[in-house]
Structure 1
Amino acid sequence: MTSTPKPLAGRSLVEGAAQGELLFADTGLSFWGGVDPFSGEVIDRHHPLSGQCIAGRVLAIPSGRGSCTGSSVMMELISNGHAPAALVLAEADEILTLGVLVAQTLFGRSLPVLCIGKEAFAGLRGAGFARVEGERLSLFAQAPAADWQAPTFTPADRPFSSALNLSPQDQALLDGSHGKAAQMAMQIVLRMAELQGAEQLLDVTQAHIDGCIYTGPASLRFAEQLVQWGAKVRVPTTLNSISVDQRRWRELGIDPALGEPASALGDAYMAMGAQLSFTCAPYLLDSAPTLGEQVVWAESNAVVYANSVLGARTLKYPDYLDICIALTGRAASIGCHLDSRRKAQLIVEVPPLDGLDDSFYPLLGYHIGALSGSRIPLVYGLEQAQPGLDDLKAFGAAFATTSAAPLFHIAGVTPEALDPAQVLEPGATLPTERLHLKDLLHSWRELNSAREPQVDVVSLGNPHFSFSEFAALARLCQGRHKHPDVVVAITCGRAVLEQARAAGHIAGLERFGVTLVTDTCWCMLGEPVIPPAARTLMTNSGKYAHYGPGLAGRPVHFASLAECVESACSGQASGRLPTWLQPAVCKESPAHV
């Protein structure tokens, strides 16, 4: 048995000790949509660890990415015994760390989380086994001694930084003067603030809660415990999509084993004072924040839209930290809450393109998200295209799928980059990525995982459909009817559905044959909304084209909304590339055509 001559030193995000086989990847992993919360299998079919099981292994990934619900999946895995033995990161990840902290606080179960930096992380490739002990990481070529006893790490009595400047109201919350739920929430807010390096807290004006998604028994147990402790939100609070259509889940044939707890979870958050909104697109509500407003939003696409398109100020808040801040009205004054932390860190240049359709923006967001990693990009080249709000919604959702960054800027388009100089640090020289059509063609093929032309289900509304998307779809479907063997289902929020119905768009779509589902989203939908016999899905969402193969267990065709309608009528995907992408094929060598 050999090990590294000297253990690697890092920053312990959650104290603890564990050892096991090292499972290494150099690509960030979204636990929501990427890891099965009941088995620990990696189900992201685009990830290099696809098919691997993380349970009991030391998982080494650069960071998380994608969904804020990763914290809930992490907590669920810890609760049911399918979590990794330890988590080793290249850079601190708040979403995954928060899931561990909540499991530790509420359930008394935990795992060590260690951040070792990018340089040391790169050296882990090829190592067979690892042991984490507090701030140290040891590597082994062979399995280390099985009789090793992990030292006990007891959380400090006061797990938050005394250096934080607390107001009298903060102190009253912390002392329990406003009840046990608010006290526990403030403890978690402060503990995370310590990890984030904050020195003070700030007031937020509203919250959007992502933790209302049912990931398993632990997610319901958490919410119901807060209700039992008398939890009440202190700021206006909206709720993300839940896991079922609360009014129609029985009618849709959902198993009560999911329908009942998922519906109960939504009820628990409403019992805390949250509004019945149930949408993953809260920016479509009348309550959407304005430029410069300090908010706490979770749900990755909502966060990115709020920061980038609305110019509001929020971090990419993990599930459960969102409700803790809603219960206290206070958040750490860090990151994108601060003007200085909203500057661009990467330049992306998009080539001039003609004949763009709506498939361009989700594809571009998906590609740029992967290029950006955790860096905030400034995108040049779309000044003349002037993407609309639906385009930016689609771009942002796909960007949030592959990137850990909570914000993007588009020169001449997004509010803080109307003058790009405003988001550039004076004198800074930023790395630049120049996109080529062949790069976008590669991402197109990655999103198009289906190999047979048959289309059984057309998935629309990820994120939730907007009023203008309903109007556009109604025009495309006018006077037509879908193929009898194809399911066309749209997920949307209740408020937008009623607006579209009042405008007359829904009657025509119902004649076309669509199924309308509110309250939930495609990331939570499965059988029987997706018929058990269905083999292939089609979507215009870059986000769902990525997550669908893992979540639904079926390959996906990705295309424009118009192409989705054509396939809904014919039952077949044409396989046509959009006109703006076709020149990329002409430039390929014959071996790749």
Structure 2
Amino acid sequence: MPDLSIRARSLVAGAAQGELLYADVGLSFWGGVAPFSGEVIDRHHPLSGQVIAGRVLALPSGRGSCTGSSVLLELILNGHGPAALLVARPEEILSLGVLVARSLFDRGLPVVCVGEEAFASLRGHRFVRVEDGQVSAYAAAPQDHWQPPAAAPGSPPASSSVALSDTDRALLDGRHGKAAQVAMQIVLRMAELQGARELIDIAQAHIDGCIYTGPASLRFARQLLDWGAAVRVPTTLNAISVDQRRWRAQGIDPAFGEPASALGDVYMAMGAQLSFTCAPYLLDSAPKAGEQLVWAESNAVVYANSVLGARTQKYPDYLDICIALTGRAPLSGCHLEEGRLASLLVEVRLPEQLDDAFYPLLGYHLGALAGSQIPVVCGLEQAAPSLDDLKAFGAAFATTSAAPMFHIAGVTPEAASAEQALGGMPPQRALRLGREDLLASWRELNSAESPGLGLVSLGNPHFSLSECARLAGLCAGRRKHPDVALVITLGRQVHEQACAAGHVATLEAFGAQFVTDTCWCMLGEPLLPVTATTLMTNSAKYAHYAPGLVGRKVHFAGLAACVEAACSGQANGALPAWLNPVTPSQGAA
């Protein structure tokens, strides 16, 4: 008999059992789990070093990157996936990876939502059995020789509770081709999972699934193309995994470079634009307030919702292209007014003498506290953060949070006041943040112990034209240290603009290198120098992911400090003035 029996909601049907691997912190599979071994490589996570393969993985939710669905698909197809997933709250990114495995490849695993209270009760158990919506937990592995039933084919149910238009039915019936038919099946399955009753037209798409996570990502895209896939709305592409024009000259191994480049070509063959940027909000096609989108890439989603006032869910890789192929998305979450309201109120004591490291640090810290809740931040009304500050804040927030957006009272478009952001309702939670809170996250991001460094990495997310201008001003007339590489990633369009403005020439005279099409979360050796055991960045997102992705320790600081370190070859490790202890006359933070 089980020690604990839970009746739960089955997100993806199936049966499995295995040793329980439990954590009370969400996990991003992209940058957090190695796609070819199943090892947890997020060095900030309590499961760091554990292997999820064959175990029942229990998480409160996912978090971070939309590419988690792609990593999970790789794990399922290469035999290193978990036996089952248990979550406290409905999880869309990981569930979508399983749905794609079922729909296209007849592989999969059960995904079950047990609720917050039951999830906490799983702590301390050693073994779990999942049978659709029934979860049984044991102190030790049962000896009853149980075997799961044969897996059912991955096709979606024949009937649906979602209202369909004539065009939807035509897509579902295959009258627009096999690719659109399968895409609509997946869209409807996700709509049911989300509880959506209808679909909406979307105006544009941004595809994150063009990131090469392994053979499964290319296999998926080629299958759609073989079935005649063609996007039905204007569609841009996220940063891919290589600089498509120069990866050979950069010394990238063809075993990686060729399929990574080919993946971008496959999506362009479906009709997507050659954009290759993780900051589509910097393109001329950036959406307007109220526009309904399907965007993937976590920082882009958060920026579109929070800063632009456009409307998109945090779409998983693969669901993004399915919606682009149909032009239809579930009407749920941030597509709805009520799905955009804050439920967490955060009061921030604004320090004096701020520099640009404040906003990514605050976003990183707040994301971990928010979980899946949308926050409204008060106390920054007089700070007037720039668009670059909001970009850095949002990218860091999206790294540690599962929420699709944030509000800053008096700054972001749907938060003229905290009351507006909360929809006139009291918050479910309220927090106050001060210097000591942020200091803890500063220390977490600064994992390097030695002051020496071999690389300054900038542009995660991709640099904007204004960031190029500011960096050029800091570097003009100077020269970097010969033992330090300074590499900037950015989109092709911004690179062309920076060339025309003279910033590229100034920065190349300093010794900087530019890489387009790809971004730091996809880069490794040799662009990351083999001799660089320590790096420095102004990106809280990359400071979080780099130790697991590339095995380097990190110095995190503002842009000016990064330039000084590039010149001296050393990170001085000094706290910024706004993080230093305040004097009695200034008051306590």
TM range (shorter): over 0.9
Q: Secondary structure at the match of 2:135?
A: strand
Q: Within 5 A, what are the aligned runs for 1:277-296?
A: 277-296=275-294
Q: Secondary structure at the match of 1:383?
A: coil
CA distance, structure 1, for counterparts of residue 154 and residue 313 of structure 2: 27
Q: Secondary structure at the match of 2:520?
A: coil
Select which of 14, 20, 23 maps to 1:16.
14
CA distance, structure 1, for counterparts of residue 234 and residue 404 of structure 2: 22
Asked if the contact 1:238–1:275 (Cα under 8 Å) also holds between the matched residues in 2, the reply is: yes
Q: Which residue of 2 aligns with 1:512?
A: 510
Select which of 571, 576, 589 maps to 2:569.
571
Q: Which residue of 1 aligns with 2:447?
A: 449
Amino acid at match of 2:471: L
Q: State the Cα deviation string for residues 210-239 of structure 1 (Å, max 9, x = none).
A: 000000000000001111111000000000
Amino acid at match of 2:50: Q
Select which of 471, 491, 494 maps to 1:493.
491
Q: State the Cα deviation string for residues 454-512 of structure 1 (Å, max 9, x = none).
A: 11110100000000000000000011111111111000000000000000000010011
CA distance, structure 1, for counterparts of residue 107 and residue 133 of structure 2: 19
Over 3 Å counting, the alpha-carbon distance change for 1:396 and 1:236 in structure 2 is same
Q: Which residue of 2 aligns with 1:348?
A: 346
Q: State the Cα deviation string for residues 27-65 of structure 1 (Å, max 9, x = none).
A: 000000000000000000000000000000000010100
Q: Which residue of 1 aligns with 2:529?
A: 531
Q: Secondary structure at the match of 2:242?
A: coil
CA distance, structure 2, for counterparts of residue 461 and residue 392 of structure 1: 14
Q: Secondary structure at the match of 1:391?
A: helix
CA distance, structure 2, for counterparts of residue 8 and residue 420 of structure 1: 39
Q: Secondary structure at the match of 1:7?
A: strand
Q: Within 5 A, what are the aligned runs for 1:143-154?
A: 143-145=141-143, 147-154=145-152
Q: State the Cα deviation string for residues 206-265 of structure 1 (Å, max 9, x = none).
A: 000000000000000000111111100000000000000000001111000110000000
Over 3 Å counting, the alpha-carbon distance change for 1:162 and 1:458 in structure 2 is same
CA distance, structure 2, for counterparts of residue 31 and residue 429 of structure 1: 30
Amino acid at match of 2:2: S
Pairing 1:551–2:549 present = yes
Pairing 1:337–2:318 present = no
Amino acid at match of 1:245: D
Asked if the contact 2:102–2:154 (Cα under 8 Å) also holds between the matched residues in 1, the reply is: no
Compute the displacement of 1:142 (Å). Answer: 1.2
CA distance, structure 2, for counterparts of residue 417 and residue 102 of structure 1: 37
CA distance, structure 1, for counterparts of residue 159 and residue 318 of structure 2: 20
CA distance, structure 2, for counterparts of residue 364 and residue 326 of structure 1: 34
Asked if the contact 1:161–1:191 (Cα under 8 Å) also holds between the matched residues in 2, the reply is: no
Q: Within 5 A, what are the aligned runs for 1:67-216?
A: 67-145=65-143, 147-155=145-153, 158-159=156-157, 162-216=160-214
Q: Which residue of 2 aligns with 1:3?
A: 2
Compute the displacement of 1:161 (Å). Answer: 5.1
Q: Which residue of 2 aligns with 1:431?
A: 429
Q: Which residue of 2 aligns with 1:328?
A: 326
Q: Secondary structure at the match of 1:583?
A: coil
Over 3 Å counting, the alpha-carbon distance change for 1:146 and 1:72 in structure 2 is farther
Pairing 1:58–2:56 present = yes
Q: Which residue of 1 aligns with 2:520?
A: 522
Asked if the contact 1:370–1:403 (Cα under 8 Å) also holds between the matched residues in 2, the reply is: yes
Over 3 Å counting, the alpha-carbon distance change for 1:586 and 1:128 in structure 2 is farther
Instruction: For structure 2, list consecutive stretches of 5 or more residues without a partner in the other structure.
Output: none
Amino acid at match of 1:300: S
Amino acid at match of 1:142: A
Q: Which residue of 2 aligns with 1:394?
A: 392
Compute the displacement of 1:419 (Å). Answer: 3.4
Compute the displacement of 1:153 (Å). Answer: 4.5
Q: Secondary structure at the match of 2:577?
A: coil
Q: Which residue of 2 aligns with 1:265?
A: 263
Compute the displacement of 1:147 (Å). Answer: 2.6
Q: State the Cα deviation string for residues 406-428 of structure 1 (Å, max 9, x = none).
A: 01000000011123332223243
Compute the displacement of 1:269 (Å). Answer: 0.1
CA distance, structure 2, for counterparts of residue 430 and residue 117 of structure 1: 17
Pairing 1:380–2:378 present = yes
Asked if the contact 1:16–1:152 (Cα under 8 Å) also holds between the matched residues in 2, the reply is: no
Q: Secondary structure at the match of 2:505?
A: helix
Asked if the contact 2:221–2:266 (Cα under 8 Å) also holds between the matched residues in 1, the reply is: yes
Q: Within 5 A, what are the aligned runs for 1:227-266?
A: 227-266=225-264
Compute the displacement of 1:160 (Å). Answer: 6.3
Q: Secondary structure at the match of 1:417?
A: coil
Q: Secondary structure at the match of 1:218?
A: helix
CA distance, structure 2, for counterparts of residue 247 and residue 158 of structure 1: 40
Compute the displacement of 1:531 (Å). Answer: 1.4
CA distance, structure 2, for counterparts of residue 579 and residue 316 of structure 1: 35
> Taking structure 1 as the reference length, what is the TM-score of the superposition?
0.97
Asked if the contact 1:411–1:418 (Cα under 8 Å) also holds between the matched residues in 2, the reply is: yes
Q: State the Cα deviation string for residues 501-529 of structure 1 (Å, max 9, x = none).
A: 00000001001111110000000000001
* Matched positions, count: 585
Compute the displacement of 1:159 (Å). Answer: 2.4
Compute the displacement of 1:361 (Å). Answer: 0.3
Asked if the contact 1:210–1:322 (Cα under 8 Å) also holds between the matched residues in 2, the reply is: yes
Over 3 Å counting, the alpha-carbon distance change for 1:62 and 1:585 in structure 2 is farther
Compute the displacement of 1:148 (Å). Answer: 1.4
CA distance, structure 1, for counterparts of residue 318 and residue 474 of structure 2: 40
CA distance, structure 2, for counterparts of residue 584 and residue 45 of structure 1: 31
CA distance, structure 1, for counterparts of residue 160 and residue 370 of structure 2: 35
Compute the displacement of 1:140 (Å). Answer: 1.2
Range that drifts further, 426-435 or 551-560: 426-435
Q: Secondary structure at the match of 1:422?
A: helix
Q: Secondary structure at the match of 2:42?
A: coil
Asked if the contact 1:207–1:235 (Cα under 8 Å) also holds between the matched residues in 2, the reply is: yes
Compute the displacement of 1:152 (Å). Answer: 3.1
Select which of 312, 315, 320 maps to 2:313.
315
Compute the displacement of 1:155 (Å). Answer: 4.9
CA distance, structure 2, for counterparts of residue 459 and residue 156 of structure 1: 43
CA distance, structure 2, for counterparts of residue 419 and residue 237 of structure 1: 34
Q: Secondary structure at the match of 2:277?
A: coil
CA distance, structure 1, for counterparts of residue 470 and residue 155 of structure 2: 57
CA distance, structure 2, for counterparts of residue 323 and residue 499 of structure 1: 29
Asked if the contact 1:242–1:262 (Cα under 8 Å) also holds between the matched residues in 2, the reply is: yes
CA distance, structure 2, for counterparts of residue 429 and residue 387 of structure 1: 24
Q: State the Cα deviation string for residues 194-216 of structure 1 (Å, max 9, x = none).
A: 11101000000000000000000
Q: Which residue of 2 aligns with 1:590?
A: none
Q: Which residue of 1 aligns with 2:475?
A: 477
Structure 1 vs Structure 2 CA RMSD: 1.3
Q: Secondary structure at the match of 1:247?
A: coil
Compute the displacement of 1:131 (Å). Answer: 0.6
Over 3 Å counting, the alpha-carbon distance change for 1:436 and 1:140 in structure 2 is same
Asked if the contact 1:233–1:326 (Cα under 8 Å) also holds between the matched residues in 2, the reply is: yes
Instruction: For structure 1, list consecutive stretches of 5 or more residues without a partner in the other structure.
Output: 588-593
Asked if the contact 1:538–1:558 (Cα under 8 Å) also holds between the matched residues in 2, the reply is: yes
CA distance, structure 1, for counterparts of residue 559 and residue 427 of structure 2: 39
Q: State the Cα deviation string for residues 290-311 of structure 1 (Å, max 9, x = none).
A: 0000000000000000000000
Select which of 394, 402, 407 maps to 1:409.
407
Q: Secondary structure at the match of 1:21?
A: strand
Select which of 369, 372, 375 maps to 1:371.
369
Asked if the contact 1:202–1:330 (Cα under 8 Å) also holds between the matched residues in 2, the reply is: yes
